A and B are shown apart, each in its own frame.
Chain A
Amino acid sequence: MAQPFLKKDDDHDDEVDYSPFLGIEKGAVLQEARVFNDPQLDPRRCSQVITKLLYLLNQGETFTKVEATEVFFAVTKLFQSRDLGLRRMVYVIIKELSPSADEVIIVTSSLMKDMTSKTDMYRANAIRVLCQITDGTLLTQIERYLKQAIVDKNPVVASAALVSGIHLLQTNPEIVKRWSNEVQEAVQSRAALVQFHALALLHQIRQNDRLAVNKLVSSLTRGSVRSPLAQCLLIRYTSQVTRESASNTQTGDRPFYDFLEGCLRHKAEMVIFEAARAITELNGVTSRELTPAITVLQLFLSSTKPVLRFAAVRTLNKVAMTHPIAVTNCNIDMESLISDQNRSIATLAITTLLKTGNESSVDRLMKQITTFMSDIADEFKIVVIEAIRSLCLKFPLKHRSLMNFLSNILREEGGFEYKKAIVDSIVILIRDIPEAKESGLLHLCEFIEDCEFTYLSTQILHFLGIEGPKTSDPSKYIRYIYNRVHLENATVRAGAVSTLAKFGAMVDSLKPRIFVLLRRCLFDTDDEVRDRATLYLKTLGADGAVEDMKEFLFGSLDIPLVNLERSLKNYEPSEESFDINSVPKEVKIQPLAEKKAPGKKPTGLGGPPPAPPSTIDAYEKLLSSIPEFANFGKLFKSSAPVELTEAETEYAVNVVKHIFDGHVVFQYNCTNTIPEQLLENVTVIVDASEAEEFAEVASKPLRSLPYDSPGQTFVAFEKPEGVPAVGKFSNMLRFIVKEVDPSTGEAEDDGVEDEYQLEELEVVAADYMLKVGVSNFRNAWESMGPDCERVDEYDLGPRENLAEAVNAVINLLGMQPCEGTEVVPSNSRSHTCLLSGVYIGNVKVLVRLQFGIDGPKDVAMKLAVRSEDEAVSDAIHEIVASG
């Protein structure tokens, strides 16, 4: 293997794509790794092989368990060599191979030897490796050495121990916490990075003790922290302390402000910036406090370094949202950044200017942006569009020039997202600025004349149908709309037909002409277009019932489309026609909110976001297929499955509670996890002695339950009609078990009766509540009115934090949180949460919860309920009072 690996000769200059790893193969390298076993080790050769292995791993190659183990064992042999360079590579590859616990034992002694070695490099690296691969048990053995290492006079060793401590704190907090004394000593270290690492660890050890953090911060802000990184940390801790104490101390001066301001004069740029940013993010920062921070950020704006300009403009952009006046001083510097080479900086500068600009500067700014727009990417353009939209809402008088700008860029090339952002903006402007309506609608009309996106065309047509008839001269839009019927695809044509019908319904003078146009559509090639034309001709032609027709054309559909689709699919043609009221209204909310969604999506066009699929229809179908339950009426709600057995037991059973108006059905989903058994005649014996209002009416056994193929058995109870009865049920699984011969899969003839105890099951108040969201809580709340409002206050006692209390109440009530109010910002001391739902008997309920935390984690809650029925409002209070 005499390849010129690591040799620094220039033999290969002529070859353009020469690489020492050309044609490298995992198998061959694994073969090569046998040199690790040689009795006479060649350190250089071994280093080369390790580098190759690392190269493979780095390129995304994976080793099988066997391969990794083999390499790992071979590598451990290399501890015999005393070559420093090779040892370094050994450390790195051990970390990359991340050996399993039983493998770790092999290297433990070697690493522990290195940890106590005289060579600093050995000590530092052995600590890092050992702490990364070890588990808690070993940690107690090496703890003594780690404590020594933290105060080692070699800074590299101390840092290695401290950083390892930071990682270990996640898994073994109780051990690391014992090191506080040493860590505290290390904070005083003269080595910059040791101080940084020690401070980070010390803070993490104490982070749950607010008083200790406070003390730590106050003492350090007075002393001198040498390392810029440590200083940045201290600034972060300081602002955290300030944030948390803000609501407690209302006395004049802000603690630590002087420290932050002093940091603005630090010599390291990272500290200056960290401090400036911290000041801008202070709660309720005053303009006097802001000024010095803005001044240093302004200096950064004209720096030659792109990173500084970016950091400054990004921070100022954020400040401009809340304190636009404070940022206006920077406008001149900002304007010169519009032509910045770095497009991210330019975009941020533009959007900042749009936020801080005053009415007189709008026109000039728009001119600058027009030249800028052509050479940036779509994603930046969208940011600019959004900024222009808010600018226009701020200065409605400027709508003409801004609308012109939007229509101009609408005509230029661009992708769907970009065009959609523009259209959304125009729609919002039309909605909010009455003067902009007519010109805006015409811009949209022109746009659909030449629009390649079906989605946008149909959305605009829909919007035209609502807004167009209300304008002073509706007739001028007809031409644009009818052109679509000639020139577009079927989807757009159908949309155009609906829009025409809306004009006909709203504007009597246009009605005869609309009729002519609709009749022409009767000869369209597409079914949907013809159907719509026929339908509208019929409804518009009918005398009277104008209100019904308007309701039909303009009314909104309050049923989730997904549910409607399911119900229609389940519907079988029969004498009885499809009843839209039978469609369930509950929306299953996806458990995981999309956290990574970039910013808020503008809600310009279109209805609510499509609802995720629900399982309720599947249940409905299943239950209605069972004759015993067929007369229970409409299914109100099905709960999520509740486990009645521990994980990995012989039989796995969970239950779904189906709530009907006068009945409750328990659906037991059973799985047999024993291959040698076949269960027959499976039933659940339910003892309802702790559920007085319930009476068992039917039970549907499961005839056979073979291994690993789930089956269901049902038990039904009668309960008082429309009453949210609650109770506890204990369950016993009863069945006949038959032995199965695993080789043939055949069951014996004789079985034995057996029982299996399941966990208890409860029907709670939340089972009678449907999660139904409302899009605008405030409107819904106002329109519900205070007639049936019930307000009361509750003491929730000590809680871990607000978020936990909020979640507990939401779960107790089983209602749908609205407008994202279920999320509690960390460290907040009060929170308002909005809930909505439908209670059994189809009563809409809205709840407003106000939480406050005071003193030692005592949570108090004010509960305001509005509903269509007083009794229901009271019932909600009862749920909370008894929960």
Chain B
Amino acid sequence: MELCPLIKNILLLDSEGKRIAVKYYSDDWPTNSAKEAFEKAVFAKTQKTNARTDAEITMFDNYVVVYKFVQDLHFFVTGGENENEIILAAVLQGFFDAVGLLLRGTVDKKEALENLDLILLCLDEIVDGGIILETDANVIAGKVASHSMDAGAPLSEQTITQALATAREHLTRSLLK
């Protein structure tokens, strides 16, 4: 297990360090307060840096943290102290770009919260129990989006009411445009 690259956590915080979505894959932080303490420490340590063009990196408490900011969103990926920094950066970039694709370019806190389901699915597609599942943003976003865009199964497989609901929804959408 220790030879495989492992992700300790992925965090998406706002510009005040509050949680938008976080996912921990390690027992290093057993309680919610331990998690919050870690987030607070990471945020305080990185807050003043400029991580808007390139991903930045820091090390503390024997963890390597890579991070990138956009608007009022702060993205973090944490690994153990001996983890290959560039692998962590690849995961961060995958997450960052996938969120960008899913939110169609308007990447800010409001949009992220309104589409929290997409963000959560995105996290679910990147890492499973600490093991990297996928780092290509297009693939990640594709997997998340492919089934959240339309209402799923073909019409023939839906019940009448469901079909009606779907149709009504399509209609309202087109009317509102």
Q: Determine whether the beta carbon of B121 is less than 8 Å from that of A88.
A: yes
Q: In chain A between 305 and 362, which residues have their CB closer than 8 angstroms to a CB of chain B?
A: 305-308, 310-311, 314, 341-342, 344
Decide if A203 is an interface residue (CB 8 Å cutoff). Answer: yes
Residue of B19, B88, B131, B132 with most chain A CB atoms under a 10 A cut-off: B131
Q: Determine whether the beta carbon of A311 is less than 8 Å from that of B85.
A: yes
User: How close is A417's CB to chain B, nearest CB, in angstroms?
Assistant: 15
Decide if A437 is an interface residue (CB 8 Å cutoff). Answer: no
Q: Determine whether the beta carbon of B56 is less than 8 Å from that of A58.
A: no
Inter-chain contacts of A95 with B (CB < 8 A): 124
Q: Determine whether the beta carbon of B117 is less than 8 Å from that of A229.
A: no
Q: Determine whether the beta carbon of B133 is less than 8 Å from that of A163.
A: yes
- Which chain B residue has the least Cβ–Cβ distance from A344? B58
In whole angstroms, what is the CA distance A62 to B33 when docked? Answer: 12
Q: Determine whether the beta carbon of A82 is less than 8 Å from that of B153.
A: yes
Decide if A240 is an interface residue (CB 8 Å cutoff). Answer: yes
Q: List 24 A-B contacts (CB under 8 A).
A: A18-B110, A20-B114, A43-B162, A58-B19, A58-B21, A60-B19, A84-B148, A95-B124, A121-B143, A121-B147, A163-B129, A166-B1, A167-B129, A170-B1, A229-B87, A232-B87, A236-B3, A270-B86, A273-B85, A277-B84, A306-B56, A306-B57, A307-B55, A344-B57
Name the segment of A5-13, A25-33, A580-588 touching the other chain. A5-13
Q: Which residues of B contact A (CB under 8 A)?
A: 1, 3-5, 19, 21-22, 32, 35-36, 49-50, 54-59, 61-62, 66, 84-90, 109-110, 113-117, 120-121, 124, 128-129, 131-135, 143-144, 146-148, 151-153, 157-159, 161-162, 165, 169
Q: Determine whether the beta carbon of B54 is less than 8 Å from that of A305.
A: yes
Candidates A51, A163, A277, A311; contact of B120 at CB < 8 Å: A51
Q: Determine whether the beta carbon of B3 is less than 8 Å from that of A240.
A: yes
Candidates B3, B4, B84; contact of A311 at CB < 8 Å: B84
Complex interface bits, A84-114 against B, C-beta within 8 A gives 1, otherwise 0: 1111110110010000000000000000000
Q: Which 8 A-B pairs have the closest CB atoms?
A: A84-B147, A60-B32, A270-B86, A84-B152, A311-B85, A83-B152, A82-B153, A85-B148
Inter-chain contacts of A742 with B (CB < 8 A): none
Decide if A159 is an interface residue (CB 8 Å cutoff). Answer: yes
Known A-B contacts A6-B114, A51-B117, A306-B54; A193 and B84 likewise in contact (beta carbons under 8 Å) = no
Q: Determine whether the beta carbon of B36 is less than 8 Å from that of A60.
A: yes
- Which chain A residue has the least Cβ–Cβ distance from B117? A51
- Which chain B residue has the least Cβ–Cβ distance from A59? B19
In whole angstroms, what is the CA distance A55 to B169 when docked? Answer: 25
Inter-chain contacts of A767 with B (CB < 8 A): none
In whole angstroms, what is the CA distance A717 to B108 when docked? Answer: 78
Give chain A's interface residue range (CB within 8 Å of chain B): 35 or more
- Which chain A residue has the least Cβ–Cβ distance from B158? A82
User: How close is A154's CB to chain B, nearest CB, in angstroms?
Assistant: 11
Complex interface bits, A578-622 against B, C-beta within 8 A gives 1, otherwise 0: 000000000000000000101000000000000000000000000
- Which chain B residue has the least Cβ–Cβ distance from A227? B135
Q: Determine whether the beta carbon of B85 is less than 8 Å from that of A166.
A: no
User: How close is B74's CB to chain A, nearest CB, in angstroms?
Assistant: 16
Known A-B contacts A193-B134, A304-B54; A270 and B153 likewise in contact (beta carbons under 8 Å) = no
Q: Determine whether the beta carbon of A237 is less than 8 Å from that of B3.
A: yes
Decide if A233 is an interface residue (CB 8 Å cutoff). Answer: yes
Besides A21-B113, A232-B84, A344-B59, 4 other A-B contacts (C-beta < 8 A):
A204-B4, A306-B56, A307-B86, A308-B86
Known A-B contacts A43-B152, A51-B120; A341 and B50 likewise in contact (beta carbons under 8 Å) = yes
Q: Determine whether the beta carbon of B131 is less than 8 Å from that of A197.
A: yes
Decide if A263 is an interface residue (CB 8 Å cutoff). Answer: no
In whole angstroms, what is the CA distance A87 to B144 when docked? Answer: 12
User: How close is A260's CB to chain B, nearest CB, in angstroms?
Assistant: 14
Known A-B contacts A5-B114, A274-B84; A200 and B4 likewise in contact (beta carbons under 8 Å) = yes
Decide if A744 is an interface residue (CB 8 Å cutoff). Answer: no
User: How close is B156's CB to chain A, nearest CB, in angstroms?
Assistant: 11
In whole angstroms, what is the CA distance A281 to B120 when docked? Answer: 38
Complex interface bits, A440-457 against B, C-beta within 8 A gives 1, otherwise 0: 000000000000000000
Q: Determine whether the beta carbon of B85 is less than 8 Å from that of A47.
A: no
Known A-B contacts A82-B157, A121-B147; A269 and B86 likewise in contact (beta carbons under 8 Å) = yes
User: How close is B83's CB to chain A, nearest CB, in angstroms?
Assistant: 10
Q: Determine whether the beta carbon of A270 is less than 8 Å from that of B87.
A: yes
Q: Determine whether the beta carbon of A12 is less than 8 Å from that of B54.
A: no
- Which chain B residue has the least Cβ–Cβ distance from A598? B62
Q: Determine whether the beta carbon of A163 is less than 8 Å from that of B113.
A: no
Inter-chain contacts of A87 with B (CB < 8 A): 147, 152
In whole angstroms, what is the CA distance A260 to B15 when docked? Answer: 42
In whole angstroms, what is the CA distance A670 to B116 when docked? Answer: 57
Q: Determine whether the beta carbon of A51 is less than 8 Å from that of B89.
A: no
Q: Determine whether the beta carbon of B1 is less than 8 Å from that of A204.
A: yes
User: How close is A262's CB to chain B, nearest CB, in angstroms?
Assistant: 18
Decide if A556 is an interface residue (CB 8 Å cutoff). Answer: no
In whole angstroms, what is the CA distance A203 to B32 when docked? Answer: 34
User: How close is A264's CB to chain B, nearest CB, in angstroms?
Assistant: 14
Inter-chain contacts of B55 with A (CB < 8 A): 305-307
Complex interface bits, A122-150 against B, C-beta within 8 A gives 1, otherwise 0: 00000010001000000000000000000
Decide if A776 is an interface residue (CB 8 Å cutoff). Answer: no
User: How close is B27's CB to chain A, nearest CB, in angstroms?
Assistant: 13
Q: Determine whether the beta carbon of A156 is less than 8 Å from that of B143.
A: yes
In whole angstroms, what is the CA distance A166 to B131 when docked? Answer: 9
User: How close is B67's CB to chain A, nearest CB, in angstroms?
Assistant: 10
User: How close is A538's CB to chain B, nearest CB, in angstroms?
Assistant: 52
Q: Determine whether the beta carbon of B121 is less than 8 Å from that of A92.
A: yes
In whole angstroms, what is the CA distance A229 to B127 when docked? Answer: 14
Known A-B contacts A42-B165, A233-B4; A273 and B84 likewise in contact (beta carbons under 8 Å) = yes
Residue of B61, B117, B169 with most chain A CB atoms under a 10 A cut-off: B117
In whole angstroms, what is the CA distance A307 to B68 when docked? Answer: 11
In whole angstroms, what is the CA distance A41 to B162 when docked? Answer: 8
Residue of B49, B87, B165 with most chain A CB atoms under a 10 A cut-off: B87
Complex interface bits, A800-838 against B, C-beta within 8 A gives 1, otherwise 0: 000000000000000000000000000000000000000
Inter-chain contacts of B114 with A (CB < 8 A): 5-8, 20
Complex interface bits, A41-69 against B, C-beta within 8 A gives 1, otherwise 0: 11110010011001100111010000000
